[in-house]
Chain A
Amino acid sequence: MTSPVTPAARGWTPSAHEVERRAVRRRLRRRGTLVAGVATVVGLGLLVTVVVLSPGWPRVQETFLSPYHARQALPAIAEGFLLNVAMFMVAEPLILLLGTAVAVVRGTTSPWLTPLRLLAVAYVDLLRGLPTLLVVFLFAFGIPALQLQGVTTSLFWLATAALVLCYGAYVAEVIRAGIDSVHPSQVASARSLALSQSQVMRFVVLPQAGRRVVPPLMNDFVSLQKDTALVASVGVFEALFAAQDYGNYNFNYTPLLVAGLFFVALTIPLARLTDWLGRRVAERERGGR
């Protein structure tokens, strides 16, 4: 079919009525922006006023917001933070792989795979239920104690493995929910194209599931980024440990806040990036509708 663009259409100019309507839309938009601005300033202003006027504020300011101590502790915290970054850069792809594998295994129906399915269920039930800190301890101190040949004794790697196992269980459940949310008609139409079970999963179900689970996955990943601080408990000198260390010597908690800022500075841009990616995909797929 030819495109219904007629010469008259190309030379189209909005009618006076449409011009007026656009002005109204603009006015409504401006009003919305104004309301948003005023509400934000008033709301946040009240909050700040309450905190700053509280009787203990000067003391809090001194112990938590000291620029001097922030500067002093900064290099050690920054160095430690590199460890946190390395840890979750390694852990996140592994978690994604492990979680997807476990979710897919739980969805299989072949009788041959029953032992694998049972293992997957047991793994998720167990690792989700155990406190992450306990798993980190078990790995960091238990595995070296076994004195196995060829197994690393590096606390960094052992702790990372513990985090991967813990978060893999969470992520597996998130992905399973995503898989279940894909409408059966999608599977039916993919099967009718003679795609194999695994092809259906890989080319039709997982891509759709993946898109839907991005927000909860982000939740788990942000949570993981924070939980890399748990390895401080087995003596890995990451950001939070460095901050605590400084605080214990100088009786000031400012470094803890500085470490917190490092974490936030990483997760907020990541959240915006995934929002943006998701919006772009949605726009492309929904077309004009």
Chain B
Amino acid sequence: MSAPLLEVRGLRKTYGDRVVLDGLDLALDAHEVVCLIGASGSGKSTLLRCVNLLESVDDGEVLLDGREVTDPEVDPREVRRDVGVVFQAYNLFPHLTALDNCTLAPVRVHGVPRAEAVERARGLLERFGLGAQADVHPDRLSGGQQQRVALVRALCTQPRLLLLDEITAALDPELVGDVLELVRAEAEAGMTMLIATHEMAFAREVASRVAYLHAGRVHEVGPPAQVLGDPQEEATRRFLRRVLPERPPGAP
């Protein structure tokens, strides 16, 4: 059996006195989609930031393909080349057009010839319904469009692992669907993803597994039907009662 694509072992992260991750364990096989759910502050975002080394960890390890990347001697850029991230607040570069946002890393980091990078980015933008917006600057786009550009920007580097951090949290409900549709398509195409989300219905649909984070650990993990439908832990049940709409009694 080969090593999982991503493995997190005993990860600990504190900010001052506040312990955010407290010995967290999680593993992802290639082509798996794992959704992280949990209250705000449960460490979902911090976990993602630790995986792509935006944060230094206080203990434990992160392994990509069985290689420890939290080793101080590992060059973080080497890790980030293979890991795509989409942030909650889009974080597009306002001084570049949508297209230039998407070609920056392929050209400058991955050494893709400019024409090829442009072609690839235009193709993806087209597929994401942004063909007409390629030459517009991000501030002139709607939130949903910006977030789709951010997705394209992450995909343009052809990452092996995609981290999505609450990517629909800042969007209007009618825009959420568009963005999630694209994520679903990526999942079907076999992209390995670790997704922090508040969209339970989405998690139920695309996730191979759902992990409930509580007090800095993975409290419960399993197939969505089990974790969301029939949680074993009391804390998970309490959390789901708060976030899921009440079901009318007697409904199927």
Contacts and interface: CB of A to CB of B under 8 A. Distances in A.
Contacts of A6: 19, 22, 215-216
B71 A12 contact: no
Contacts of B70: 21
Most buried by B among A4, A9, A184: A4
Nearest to A24: B72
Interface residues of B, number: 25
Interface string A16-34: 0110010011001000000
B18 A24 contact: no
Nearest to B21: A4
Interface string B10-45: 101001111110100000000000000001111100
A265 to B, nearest CB: 38
B181 interface: no
B140 to A, nearest CB: 12
A147 interface: no
Nearest to A185: B139
Contact of B15 (A9, A21, A288): A288
A21 B215 contact: no
B72 A17 contact: no
A4 B73 CA distance: 31
**Chain A interface residue count: which class?**
10 to 19
A87 B39 CA distance: 59
B19 A9 contact: yes
Contacts, number: 53
Interface string B151-193: 0000000000000000000000000000000000000000000
Contacts of A9: 19, 22, 216
B112 to A, nearest CB: 31
A15 B215 contact: no
Contacts of A150: none
Contact of A15 (B40, B41, B59): B59
Interface in B33-89: 39-43, 58-61, 70-73
Contacts of B43: 4
A14 B18 contact: no
A50 interface: no
A1 interface: yes
A5 interface: yes
A17 B10 CA distance: 11
A118 to B, nearest CB: 30
A109 interface: no
B71 A5 contact: no
Given A9-B19, A12-B12, A288-B15, A4 B215 contact: yes
Nearest to A23: B72
A28 B73 CA distance: 8
B168 to A, nearest CB: 20
* 5 nearest CB pairs, A to B: A288-B15, A18-B59, A9-B19, A4-B215, A25-B72
Interface of B: 10, 12, 15-20, 22, 39-43, 58-61, 70-73, 139, 215-216
25 contacts: A1-B40, A4-B18, A4-B42, A5-B17, A5-B18, A6-B215, A6-B216, A9-B216, A12-B12, A12-B22, A12-B59, A14-B59, A15-B10, A17-B60, A18-B60, A21-B70, A24-B71, A24-B72, A25-B72, A28-B72, A28-B73, A184-B139, A287-B15, A288-B15, A288-B16
Given A4-B216, A18-B59, 16 more contacts: A1-B41, A4-B18, A4-B19, A4-B22, A4-B43, A5-B19, A6-B216, A9-B19, A12-B19, A12-B22, A12-B59, A14-B58, A15-B59, A21-B71, A21-B72, A28-B72
